[in-house]
Amino acid sequence: MAQFHFVEDYEKLIAHMIATHPIDEAMALAVGGGPYEIFGQMEADILEAAGLAEGMRVVDLGCGSGRLAATLHQRGRFSYAGIDIIQPLLDYAKTKAPSYEFLLHRGLNIPQPDASADIVCAFSLFTHLLQAETFIYLKESVRVLKAGGRIVFSFLEFSEPTHWAVFEHTVEVTRAATGDHLNMFLERASIDLWAQKLGLAVERYFPASATWRGHSLGQSVAVLRK
């Protein structure tokens, strides 16, 4: 089974964060360092804008320390499975949403039954994967989704002016060999083509500048429908 290329490095990074920061701070840093609750609320708002309704089944790829799960757990009755490659993140997420399911999984498949989910989401995940890995995950998402279900994911794009700084930083750390993770950019034309190949409809894009309760996610978002 294929395994992510950065598991060992990420395990070391998370262990270092836990050793050098209070646990709540470490868990926020582990998923990007933004305000934990605010980002969870934004992600939940995005899913609701994409069609999430009470009673639906959500599969959260790269769920991290559970900021989306914590918000959904508070908002209503949803069926939820969070999947990640780092056990301490999943353990922390479980404390935030104790009735939800959290799975350690390091393959490029999704350990969920066929046609079982209403939404598969991936926030700040495909931004760190190779394009082939992202496509494999999208193909798996099609299998897992019910008819009419949606894939919601965030991405970096060169056509977004605010993302250029991310690319410049990536160039700098690559040159200095100090980078601790991959930053991958996708353009909408590529997503459109992938959707066509996978039999998906591109329902909408949210720009990185879109605001949710006065805050910006900082990444663009695609919504694809099966």
134 occurs within a structural domain: yes
What CA–CA distances, in Å, run from 203 to 68, 90, 191, 200, 223?
22, 31, 12, 9, 5
Give per-residue pLDDT as tens, 30-83.
887 678 999 999 999 999 999 999 999 999 999 999 999 999 999 988 999 999
2 occurs within a structural domain: no
Return the pLDDT at 3: 59
Tokens read off for 27: 């868990």
What's the average model confidence in pLDDT over 148-175? 92
What's the average model confidence in pLDDT over 95-116? 96
3-state secondary structure of 145: strand
Confidence of residue 219 (pLDDT cuts 50, 70, 90): very high
199 occurs within a structural domain: yes
174 occurs within a structural domain: yes
pTM more than 0.85: yes
Average pLDDT score over the chain: 92
Position 202, amino acid: V
Give per-residue pLDDT as tens, 205-217.
999 999 998 999 9
84 occurs within a structural domain: yes
Which residues are CB-neighbours of 171 under 8 A, at least 6 positions away? none
143 occurs within a structural domain: yes
Return the pLDDT at 33: 65
CA angle (134, 130, 82) in 5-degree steps: 45
Give per-residue pLDDT as tens, 84-95.
999 999 999 999
1 occurs within a structural domain: no
Q: How many domains does the chain have?
A: 1
72 occurs within a structural domain: yes
What's the average model confidence in pLDDT over 158-183? 84
User: What's the domain range around 59?
Assistant: 7-225
3-state secondary structure of 118: strand
pLDDT at residue 1 greater than cutoff 70: no
CATH of the domain at 114: 3.40.50.150
pLDDT exceeding 90 applies to what percent of the chain? 76
More confident residue, 12 or 21: 21
First to last CA, the chain: 26
pLDDT at residue 4 greater than cutoff 80: no
